[in-house]
């Protein structure tokens, strides 16, 4: 048996009629149309927001302001491990641009530090903004070089 689009119908009781309020006393929803008597809640466009306190000075304005957020002024930094540097081939010069292209850091990151976590298996020249002391020795023992870049 095949169905055709024009033969389909909704399930019985699936569609419910919209309640028509304000259409006479006999309907049970006349006069104030279920909104109660006068006041802001009976008016159109009545949403006042979650912080509205009936005209009283809101709590958020009664409390003092304090604190400071450095998010707007933060300098985006990233830490790269020695293990992550193993994706580069021997003799490669690894800088911030190479790390961006390899997908190890986001484009918003401006400062990079290499930390000593994992083993370095390549001979690399690493030019970034900072190194931990363990990372410096690990790069040197592999025969590579590390250089601190000033920004």
Task: Please state the domain count of the chain.
Answer: 1
Query: Does residue 46 form part of some domain?
Result: no
pLDDT at 72: 85
Query: The whole model's pTM is what?
Result: 0.54
Query: Does residue 137 form part of some domain?
Result: yes
> What's the average model confidence in pLDDT over 89-117?
93
pLDDT at 111: 93
CA 127 to chain centre: 31
Name the token pair of 13: 């009781």
* Model confidence pLDDT, tens digit, residues 4-52: 998 888 888 888 888 999 999 999 899 999 888 988 788 888 778 888 8
> What's the average model confidence in pLDDT over 82-106?
93
* Percent of the chain predicted with pLDDT > 90: 58
Query: Does residue 128 form part of some domain?
Result: yes
Q: Are strands 77-81 and 111-115 parallel, antiparallel or unpaired?
A: parallel
Query: Does residue 123 form part of some domain?
Result: yes
Q: Token pair 């994706």 is at which residue?
A: 87
Query: Does residue 29 form part of some domain?
Result: no
* Domain extent for 94: 77-148
């Amino acid at each position: 048996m095949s169905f055709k689009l024009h033969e389909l119908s909704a399930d019985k009781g699936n569609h419910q009629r919209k309640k028509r309020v304000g259409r006479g006393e006999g309907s049970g929803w006349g006069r104030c149309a279920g909104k109660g008597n006068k006041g802001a809640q009976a008016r159109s466009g009545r949403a006042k927001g979650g912080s509205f306190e009936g005209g009283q000075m809101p709590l958020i304005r009664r409390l003092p302001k304090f604190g400071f957020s450095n998010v707007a002024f933060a300098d985006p930094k990233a830490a790269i491990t020695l293990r992550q540097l193993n994706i580069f081939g021997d003799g490669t010069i690894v800088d911030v641009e190479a790390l961006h292209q390899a997908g190890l850091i986001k484009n918003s990151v401006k400062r990079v530090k290499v930390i000593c976590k994992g083993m370095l298996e390549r001979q690399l020249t690493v030019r970034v903004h900072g190194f931990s002391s363990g990372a410096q020795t690990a790069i040197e023992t592999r025969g590579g070089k590390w250089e601190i870049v000033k920004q």
